[in-house]
Amino acid sequence: MTAPGVGRIEVAPNAEVTTLYYPAATPGRATLVLAHGAGTDQRHRAMTTLATGIAAQGVDVVTFNFLYTEQRRRSPDRSPVLEQTWTAVVEAMAGNLPEDHRLVVGGKSMGGRIASMVLAHSPATAAWTRVSGLVLLGYPLHPPGKPDQLRTAHLPAIRVPVLLVHGTRDAFGTRDEIEPVFQALPTRVDFDFIERGNHSFAVPKSTGLTESIVLAGISERVATWVLG
């Protein structure tokens, strides 16, 4: 595997984050900007596996660190800083894309949730108006064991199509909890449920499916959706 290209993007004065660029195996016509979850960073095995797999299917992929991971802090930044990071990355990326190139955003768990929040806030910039889709890899509907603390208030304001990949035994929201929430949104939502998968998409050994098999399937599904 060829090592991804490394870049830097300024988020605030004296504050930059690292990006990794995974070029499409064939000339791409779409770019997916993908953010990591709260407990990992962009070099986590699952993130690099997904980014590599999606790129192999013909989609340029860009990942990035949030400021707290870039600065080696364990606790995530507050939402405004997380959103500011997302905005800076998308604005930097959009300025380098051809006019006919599709731009999609998304991420694992928190990374996808923050992307959805920025989209819901309808930022009035040319970069964000180019975003034509949202990929959510395990949406954290609520904290584990706290189903009354829903993270849904902003979702009805999203207007771009959504792909939701979600494990059916995800502690952050089961299929029965999450499906009606997204079905009610005023936009197209496509679901890809990982049977017996948890929040990390791990499935029981009894299924006979390894992590690499599951992640390969997700990569293919995401790339097909983005290119569609």
| Token code pair at residue 23 | 């070029």
CA 210 to CA 23: how far, in whole Å? 26
Burial class (CB in 10 A: 0-12, 13-18, 19+), 83: middle
What residues does each domain of the chain span? Answer: 15-227
Q: 30-35 and 15-22: which strand pairing?
A: unpaired
**What is the model's pTM?**
0.95
State residue 124's pLDDT score: 60
For 15-227, CATH number?
A: 3.40.50.1820
pLDDT in the model for residue 2: 58
DSSP-derived 3-state class of residue 100: coil
Concatenated DSSP letters of 147-193: TTS---TTGGG--S-EEEEEETT-TT--HHHHHHHHHTSSS-EEEEE
Q: What was the pLDDT predicted at 133?
A: 97
For the chain, 228 residues long, the average pLDDT of each consecutive 10-residue run is 79 92 91 96 96 97 96 93 94 87 96 96 78 97 96 96 97 96 97 96 94 97 97
CB 20 within 8 A of CB 62: yes
pLDDT in the model for residue 85: 95
Task: Compute the chain's Rg from CA coordinates.
Answer: 16
Sign of CA dihedral 14, 36, 188, 141: negative
